[in-house]
Chain A
Amino acid sequence: MADKFKATEEQIRYATILDLGMKVGLVALILSFIIYLTGILPAYIPVNDLPKYWKLSVHQYLEATGIPQGWTWLKLLNKGDFLNFLGIAFLAGVTIICYIAVIPIFFRKKDKIYGILAIIEVLVLLLAASGVLKTGGH
């Protein structure tokens, strides 16, 4: 009975990658957080100073700490707090990988509309992830 209602090939591929990506991201997040809490790597913002900053708006926080926006956190991976961004970015990126993986299946099945929709979705998510879109201050 169950076989009759088996999910489509693209759905299974999407789910398999999502499952793996989610687990890798979560483990990375937990490990990096342990490194952060135990102080194995020094934090960019010492944990004792955090209460000074977490009340500020994001614009005031960036100004007060001198933290740059966008992907510049990659240069700060030797800091315990920024190491956590590896897991966070992975979790936020796994959907893009899933979409890229199913695009060839749509085109092989001659399902051009969904192939194109998936390509556009990848472009939208890459635009969001690119760091090009900045917000004004408040």
Chain B
Amino acid sequence: MQFKKFTVTLPIFVICLVVLILLSTFEFTFGSTDIVETANHGSSTPWWIWPLVLFVVTFILGIVAVLGGVGGGVLFVPIIGGFFPFNLDFVRGAGLLVALSGALAAGPGLLKRGMADLRLAIPVALIASSSAIIGAMIGLALPKNIVNIALGATILGIVAIMLMAKKSEFPDVPKADALSTALRINGIYYEASTGQEVHWKIHRTPQGLALFILIGIMAGMFGLGAGWANVPVLNLLMGAPLKVSVATSKFLLSITDTSAAWIYINNGAVLPMLVVPSIIGIMVGSIVGVKILAKTKPAAIKYIVIALLLFSGLRALLKGFGIWN
């Protein structure tokens, strides 16, 4: 078993590392960042290379995201933004649509099985999606270096959350708060692994909703998706069971990212040549990832995800400070 996990993890890690190193070298060699020069003369690299490489990289990201238990969006924006020649405006627009497509694809199954909860999602989504509009507008208005610095800092913050945050399968909620009681946010789901009915309710709803203002702004600003923040707030702060939190978080992205995506679409920050290969790459990669996951779940994959985020977060930060362009 250990050997099997090793044979899955090692190639993924080596592929990721090689691809990132090649991309950073390739971009450094062929991808001038001088806007005037670029607009006048373009690049010597044939146009089709980048969408093709984009498809391959997003395919790998799709596999890694499933095995690492993270959304594709959180890997997409820092890696594609850091190692491809595309402007961060278009990468964030594509990132939102990648996260949106993943959430739209997963949403129906999660809702029908009762894992994602509409009553929990609706109030949260209203706050997050309104805030995401503001975040998207701020993100498109800010200078590129500021966005890179903020993105780098956020990615490093996500790494810290991934390393430190604990999860609680069934959080202890002694008493539902007044707001969640008024909104009747509670439920029952069938836990197949134990064969038990799980009755759940939530608490600290006002605090949770307040945090979703911040989460929405960040989701819209960086196009990251927001599962990394949704799940801890729903699970650890508000006390929803882990499975309900994960499923509702995934479904929530379909609403939060919808509002932000429209801002990017209407402001011209969507290039089909980036968006379509990315969506298809991530989706096909996710399907392959699910098949690998059915056979083995290498624990080390979490650390590959963390290493990728750390590397790309530092890259964004250094780009923002003009140290590594």
What's the dominant secondary structure at chain A's contact region? helix
A68 and chain B: residue at smallest CB distance: B268
Complex alpha-carbon distance, A120 and B38, angstroms:
44
Q: Is B190 among interface residues, defined by CB-CB distance under 8 A?
A: yes
Picked from A69, A91, A96, the residue with its CB within 8 Å of the CB of B100 is A91
For chain A, the bracket of interface size reads 35 or more
Interface set, chain A 85-119, CB cutoff 8 A to B: 85, 88-89, 91-96, 102, 113-114, 117-118
Complex alpha-carbon distance, A125 and B220, angstroms:
13
Q: Which of B33, B45, B114, B143 has the most A CB atoms < 10 Å from its CB?
A: B114
A118: which B residues are within 8 A, CB to CB? 122
Q: Is B25 among interface residues, defined by CB-CB distance under 8 A?
A: no
B119 and chain A: residue at smallest CB distance: A114
Complex alpha-carbon distance, A93 and B254, angstroms:
10
Nearest Cβ distance between residue A12 and chain B, in whole angstroms?
6
Complex alpha-carbon distance, A54 and B80, angstroms:
13
Contact with A along B247-291 (1 / 0, CB 8 A): 000000011001111110111111111111001100000000000
Picked from A48, A58, A88, the residue with its CB within 8 Å of the CB of B275 is A88
Picked from B97, B111, B118, B255, the residue with its CB within 8 Å of the CB of A95 is B255
Picked from A19, A54, A91, the residue with its CB within 8 Å of the CB of B273 is A54
Complex alpha-carbon distance, A96 and B129, angstroms:
12
B40 and chain A: residue at smallest CB distance: A52
Q: Is B1 among interface residues, defined by CB-CB distance under 8 A?
A: no
Given known contacts A30-B280, A55-B38, A57-B144, is B112 in contact with A15 (CB within 8 Å)? yes
B39: which A residues are within 8 A, CB to CB? 52-53, 56, 60, 64
Quick check: B87 and A15 within 8 Å, CB to CB? no
Nearest Cβ distance between residue B181 and chain A, in whole angstroms?
12
Quick check: B190 and A129 within 8 Å, CB to CB? no
Quick check: A51 and B129 within 8 Å, CB to CB? no
Complex alpha-carbon distance, A137 and B105, angstroms:
34
Nearest Cβ distance between residue B205 and chain A, in whole angstroms?
13
A96: which B residues are within 8 A, CB to CB? 258
Q: Is A38 among interface residues, defined by CB-CB distance under 8 A?
A: no
Quick check: B133 and A14 within 8 Å, CB to CB? no
Quick check: A19 and B33 within 8 Å, CB to CB? no
Q: Is A41 among interface residues, defined by CB-CB distance under 8 A?
A: no
Q: Is A76 among interface residues, defined by CB-CB distance under 8 A?
A: no
A49 and chain B: residue at smallest CB distance: B42
Complex alpha-carbon distance, A89 and B107, angstroms:
18
Can you identify 12 A-B contacts, CB atoms within 8 angstroms? A6-B114, A15-B112, A55-B85, A58-B140, A61-B87, A61-B89, A84-B272, A85-B270, A92-B97, A117-B126, A133-B263, A133-B266
B-side interface residues toward A, CB under 8 Å?
31-33, 35, 38-43, 45, 47-48, 50, 85-87, 89-90, 97, 100-101, 104-105, 107-109, 111-114, 117-119, 122-123, 125-126, 129-130, 133, 137, 140-144, 182-183, 188-190, 197, 254-255, 258-263, 265-276, 279-280
A-side interface residues toward B, CB under 8 Å?
1-2, 4-8, 10-12, 14-16, 18-19, 21-22, 25-26, 29-30, 32-33, 36, 47-58, 60-62, 64, 67, 69-71, 81, 84-85, 88-89, 91-96, 102, 113-114, 117-118, 120-121, 124-125, 127-131, 133-138
